[in-house]
Amino acid sequence: MAKDLLILTTGGTFDKRYPEGQWVTEFTFPPGQESAVTEILRRARMAPEAFACEWLFAEDSTKITDAQRDIIANRCASATQRRIVVTHGTDTMTRRIDPETGKVAATPNTAATIAARKLDKTVVLTGAAQPAVLRDSDTDFNLGLAIGAALMAPPGVYIAMNGLVAPWDAVVKTVVGSFRKFEA
């Protein structure tokens, strides 16, 4: 079947671009709604007829609103594809450890919003610690991991980061920025 996999892009570090210079803190996203996903999959020689890719918006995950989380969840729900990858910023992708308390933070996250829909689909969220345009980026690895998980895992919402694939509610982002399994 054609286009069995849907890849939704939402910005995050995955697609950030920084101007050249030292100590740059400002960033932009690519013009023309062109995600790094397109180039990564071209280099990986993934058959174009095997997936559809849609740009939903480009936002740093710390600025994603509940309305934008609903856009992502609604698109997952309305998709004809049953296997979906979402590229997303890592700060609000799933639960995270609060650096001040060391406990799981009770902040809004996109994985929980999607999971609340109880879709009979496999949805995998992934992101990056370094933008795709940087040489030492983890985007290619994380995207490949997420695609593999989306194609093989049973229905549910998953996180694919740092070589880890697990249900969203069993994963946290740590204070140092890596992802790990977490049991309450």
CATH number, domain at 107?
3.40.50.1170
Residue 183 included in any domain: no
The model carries a pTM of: 0.90
Domain count, the chain: 1
To the nearest whole number, what is the mean pLDDT of the chain?
Answer: 87
What is the rounded CA–CA span in Å between residue 61 and residue 79? 22
Which residues constitute the domain of residue 135? 5-17+27-95+102-169
Q: How far is CA 73 from CA 8, 21, 110, 123, in A?
A: 11, 37, 8, 10
What pLDDT is attached to residue 27?
A: 61
Residue 143 included in any domain: yes
Residue 174 included in any domain: no
Q: Binding site: residue ranges?
A: 61, 90-91
The residues annotated as belonging to the active site are: 13
Residue 129 has pLDDT above 60, yes or no: yes
Residue 134 included in any domain: yes
Tokens matching residue 22: 């030292």
Q: Binding site for substrate: residue ranges?
A: 61, 90-91
